[in-house]
Structure 1
Amino acid sequence: MTHPVKGIDHCFALVNDLDDAAKQFAALGFTLSPRGTHSESKGTANYTIMFPQDYFELLGILKPTELNAARRATLERVGQGLHAIACRIDDAEAAAKALADLGITTEGLGSFSRPVPLPDGSEGVAAFSTVSFTADQVPLGMVFMCEHKTRDTVWIPELLTHANTACGLGAILAMSDTPAEDAAGFARLWAKGAVTEADGVFTVTTGDKSAPLVLMSPAKMAETYPGADLAATTRGALTALRIKVADIEAAKACLDKAGITPLKTAAGIAAGPEHAAGVIVEFVPT
């Protein structure tokens, strides 16, 4: 039997105030899509930050509905920040069946679409099918799978250029009290999932041309991002987003323009969670 999950497609932050979060990420030098409004029953909307191979999403709740009750409860319990990873698959229904054969449980198989404002002023449709790993399969946060049915209305060329020269997800990082155990739990969710360890940092490979997932203790995270307010990130989900940039000086110039003093890291520079809706955003050279 073949494991169907090929890598990380995107990740998302669930935020308290969607438009405020969008302003923060724009100030960091990202180009954001126009706001995408979901159905009345969902009561949510999003902005996407697109890269050639993957992307990052800001998701917010516009009004309470029955369908977003679980998200509202999660936001209350965990706090705003980096909540979820979406995995690359070819076919959601086939993926659910293949994973069941491997003893990995899923739930919530379904399809949906949303309107997409296009650069020429017209409106297109973005359509997806998704299926989630059950909570007992995921050590931290939420991991689900996403089948894109209309890639041309998501990967719009005009959205791929950013003032900070961002060009892809470099890594997703999370704090864990048991990073070795959690890394092993995450690794089984990807076909090429494997764990390496160095100096207490556990890195999960997730596939070809796919960002790794990095787990470490809270103390190690504090060491990795000195001066960052870790209490302002999610509680029990994901913590930091490492972004690849073509020009680190351009990224620094964006932070300077926004009046943000960057945190210096071993690999680059970072903006603290107070500047990025509960996410530590680190910029590293490609």
Structure 2
Amino acid sequence: MSLAHVLGVDHVVVAVRDLAFSAKAWAELGFTISPRGLHSPHMGSANYTIMLQEDYLELLGVVAATDQNQPMRDFLAKHEGVERIAFTTDDAAAGAAEITARGFPAIGPVHFGRPVPLPGGGEADAKFNVFRWPLDEQPGGIRIFACQHLTRENVWLPVLQQHANGAVAIRRIEILSVDPQAAAAHLSRLIDEPARQDGAAWRVASGRSRADILFYAAETFAERYPDAVREGAATKGVAALVLATRDLDAAAAASGAIRHGDAASVPANRASGSVLSFVPA
């Protein structure tokens, strides 16, 4: 029985050391980047977002050291890249209670917000409630949390959802693991979704037709992506983000991606440490 208040992948957090540099780099891949957002002081972070149809990518950086961003600072001390995965929740308090009752004491909920510049001028507030699974529960080395959007209309702005590369959704999050089956089973327990073998990989659907999470070993990564694409990739954690695009040719042209099979992939060293792969929607 699936969790009642965890509703599929909401977004991925790409932790970066230099927000302005990273925003420019991702804009050069054909994405429309939101204006910079500054979170509530207790979060100590700022971001740029890449809004898709129902999910998104978040470029996140530290602006002040706080207890809330200590895990991300620990991560950035080693490398940049996808540091955690967020799931959508419709009720953060109920979701936190739900996972706690299943033996995973939740951290939170925590409330925070940030101002959002509006296309026609002025600002609106984006507000969120989030809860986290325990910090020692990291399937494949990835932290997970859940995000309740209290002001979706101020985040999914139509002007920010149009991208030169045609991206519309996160299709898969691919994670390197020395034991893919065990990592998939771990995530399965945390979000109560089944783990299924998929060739040499193990797949966990996140729910609600949102992104799947795929776990595999380094050998499989080498088989899936050409050498030039894997340049600069993390040796553990999220190896690739796979996005659906309306137009694969446009995605390749806008991003400078390398075509291989039915995909066009951006080398990891141009996408903050993970391969960025486009596939037809």
With structure 2 as the length reference, what TM-score do the two structures score?
Answer: 0.93
Three-state SS of the structure 1 residue aligned to 2:227 is coil
- CA deviations 1:129-149 (Å, max 9, x no partner) are 001011333222110010110
CA distance in 1, matches of 2:153, 2:90: 16
Match of 2:99 in 1: 99
- Separation in 2, partners of 1:136, 1:184: 15
In the alignment, which residue of structure 2 is the partner of 1:170?
171
Q: Which moved more, 1:195-204 or 1:220-229?
A: 220-229
Aligned residue for 1:72, secondary structure, equals: helix
Counterpart in the other structure of 1:8: 9
Match of 1:238 in 2: 238
Distance 1:2 1:199 in 2: 24
When the two chains are superposed, the root-mean-square deviation of aligned CA atoms in Å is 1.9
Tell me the CA shift for residue 88 of structure 1. Answer: 1.2
The answer to whether the 8 Å contact 2:231/2:268 transfers is no
Distance 1:230 1:144 in 2: 27
1:81 corresponds in structure 2 to 81
SS of the residue 1:94 aligns to: helix
Residue identity (%): 36
Q: Matched residues in 1 for 2:43 and 2:137: separation? A: 25
Question: Counterpart in 1 of 2:153?
Answer: 152
Q: Distance in 1 between matches of 2:235 and 2:46?
A: 23
Mapped to 2, the partners of 1:275 and 1:282 lie a distance apart of 12
Of the three residues 270, 273, 283, the one matched with 2:265 is 270
Answer yes or no: is the 8 Å Cα contact 2:96–2:108 preserved in 1. Answer: no
3-state SS in 1 of match to 2:170: strand
Aligned mate of 1:281, from 258, 272, 276: 276
- What displacement does 1:196 show? 1.9
1:131-146 counterparts in 2 under 5 A? 131-139=131-139, 140-146=141-147
Q: Is the 8 A contact 2:252 2:258 kept in 1?
A: no
Structure 1: distance between partners of 2:133 and 2:66: 23
Question: What amino acid is the match of 1:271?
Answer: V
1:66 CA drift (Å): 5.6
Instruction: Provide the rounded CA distance (Å) in 1 between the counterparts of 2:101 and 2:261.
Output: 42
In the other structure, the counterpart of 1:25 is 26
* Structure 2 unmatched runs, 5+: none
User: Equivalent residue of 1:71, what SS?
Assistant: helix
How big is the shift at 1:43?
A: 3.3
How far residue 163 of structure 1 moved from its aligned partner, in angstroms, is 0.6
Contact 1:82–1:234 (8 Å) recurs in 2:
no
Letter in 2 for 1:95: G
- How many residues get paired? 279
